Amino acid sequence: MFAKLAQPYPLGATLCDQGCNFSIHCPDNQEIKLILFDAENKRTTIELGNEYMGCRYVFVPGVKAGQRYGYQIRDKHELRLVLDPYAQALDKTPFYVEPFTADKSWEFAKSVVVDHQFDWQQATLPQVPYEETVLFETHVKGFTKQHPQLDEQHQGSYLGLCQPQVIEFFKDQGITTLQLLPVTSCMSEPHLLKMDKVNFWGYNSLCFMAPEPRYAANDAVTELKTMVRELHKNGIEVIMDIVFNHTAEGGEGGPKFHFKCLDKNYYLQDSNKNYLNYTGCGNTVDLTYQPSLNIVLDTLRNWVTHYQIDGFRFDLAATLGRKRDRFDTQSAFFKAIAQDPILRQVKLIAEPWDVGPDGYQLGHFPRGWNECNDRFRDTVKSYWLEGNNNVKEFATRLMGSRDMFSAGGWPDKLPVNFISYHDGFTLHDLVSYNHKHNHANGENNRDGHGDNRSNNHGVEGETSNYSVIYKRERQKRNLMTTLLFSFGIPHLLAVDSLSHTQGGNNNAYCQDNEISWADWDLSKDDKRFNTWLTQMLAARKQIMSPFIKAFSGHERGHHRIHWHRSNGQMMTAEDWQGLNAFALYLGLYKTGNELMFLVNSSDIPTRYRLPSGSKWSVVCDTSESRLNQRQVQTTYMQSAKSMTILYRE
């Protein structure tokens, strides 16, 4: 009877009312056996009596949700327990003491059978338009661990991120979309375990489909779904940062959790069967190999179907389009996504590079993909913080980097613009440090990027010098105004809204402490900046979003764009070589709403002559710490190293 219920697909553990089907892809290990564990860790060994195309499978009657299991394999004459790569949950936070031997594998985290029934309470998907999307990069634990209004049981957890106080903050801030640092199960790298540290960011995937247990009080599956449901009820999207380019098994000599013992072809290998390391993490998942492609696509559908996830940000996404040492926009992965009725409906964001050959692919991903625009980051930071007066480059980024992202493909091909990300300086540290200070990471300050393009404005680190503080706060406003009023999807680091400092650490990946935890104890300057940013996000939605929509697609050529010198005359070819003060004029159609950008990167105030007509409303002047609503008409005096946005209906 039960033999008929046994099926090779879907892979993983699939429940029905009579029991559970277990199936695993394991062509490199024919002696594999299913092990079930009871509450006292007593084992039941079950033969996988069926085989199909490299998959071994069996139906086990009577199995219920919550059943812990693993697979026993023979590894060099030792019996090792491996995780199910398709595991939907883990029974505890993965941990081991180096080295990870076959004996220790039996004490490691176990796979868990999951029943995905859940009451979504009729919560609907927010489906925020691209032109209105504001990404808020958030660490589940780090953002709420020190939140003063949350109960201790909710701090640093999935449920903490959806408490009314936190949701109210998101809504007041004007955030449409949370981009969560990885919430899939991960394992800290061996070198971190030796230093008694953890991979705080989570970019070291263990089981792609299992939510990270350390952010849950009891049940990571239910608590993550609850978080998504409550955010959706409040119109906030949830995007997962997900890592398919490598796994926690590392390279040669790395730990064996699953893939290495089941099928080594999951990873790219050279002619000597050594792992190719195009990710900088020891191994590279080979998506030209059908089982690798299958688990990636199955994983994505799992998160969208069972967790109502609104989209994904793909870490080192160039790896996903690789054919060994070349990147291919026509790869099977991109084609599979484009034809998938579930996946082609969600937001897809690529980090468009990896560290291998042909690895930098900004602007080359297919339609339907948005891309993290590091050219915007570097140009804008250099312009405001380093005095690199490359007006042409700055203007190109302001107008949506159309040298790489044609407006004909907008809004779905809008670039994702950003100033700060989880890796690198926070916004506050960008204006407070000239050098990285990563000593807490235990690598003698050798780790982390050296190209920060930052400016401490005369003092390294925190200071009480009012003149220095004023310059720093003004530059923060310059950077954020440029980000929010450029054409693109703005990406903000969540802790930047709180002016959080990491003490100059630009690579805090292993800092599960106050260095990374958002500091909610705000100074007067911090509160003032948060209020300013909240109002600017509201202004962007009201004013800039309609301009982005209008400048997208077939209508893009029907609007007015003019570049002016401060005296009102049109800019000449010579002006583009380094003019310190210029203006951008935008007008919708022939007589529609108008925007003016007054940009003064010089050290002296500059008076601008404005286009004639009715009065302009001042949206913001970055030389001012508050938004002061007023109108101007013929001229405007712009302070040094600042910019102003004007609007006229």
Q: How many other C-beta atoms lie within 10 A of the C-beta of residue 130?
A: 18
Whether 47 is a known active-site residue: answer no
CA-CA-CA-CA dihedral for 212, 217, 222, 224, to nearest 10: -50
Kindly list the distances between the CA atom of residue 521 and the CA atoms of 111, 147, 327, 524, in Å, as whole numbers in the listed order: 40, 9, 46, 10
Distance CA 21, CA 8 (A): 9
Helix (H) or strand (E) holding 57: strand 55-61
Distance between start and end Cα atoms, the chain: 73
The tokens for 376 are: 């915007």
Residue of 117, 125, 55, 59 lying closest to 88 (CA atoms): 117
Two structure tokens written together for 558: 């029907």
Tokens matching residue 192: 């971190």
Q: Catalytic pick from 131, 137, 212, 315?
A: 315
Token pair listed for 82: 């491996």
Distance CA 404, CA 393 (A): 12
Contacts of 290 (CB under 8 A, 6+ apart): none
Half-sphere exposure of 373 (CA within 13 A, CB side): 34
189, 230, 351, 496: the catalytic one is: 351
Active site annotation includes 31 = no
**Residues 6+ positions from 72 with CB-CB distance below 8 Å:** 32, 33, 34, 35, 45, 79, 80, 81, 82
318 and 362 Cβ atoms separated by less than 8 Å: no
Report H helices in 331-406: 332-339, 374-385, 391-398
Token duo for residue 628: 């002061």
Handedness of CA 446, 447, 451, 452 (dihedral sign): negative
Residues catalogued as catalytic: 315, 351
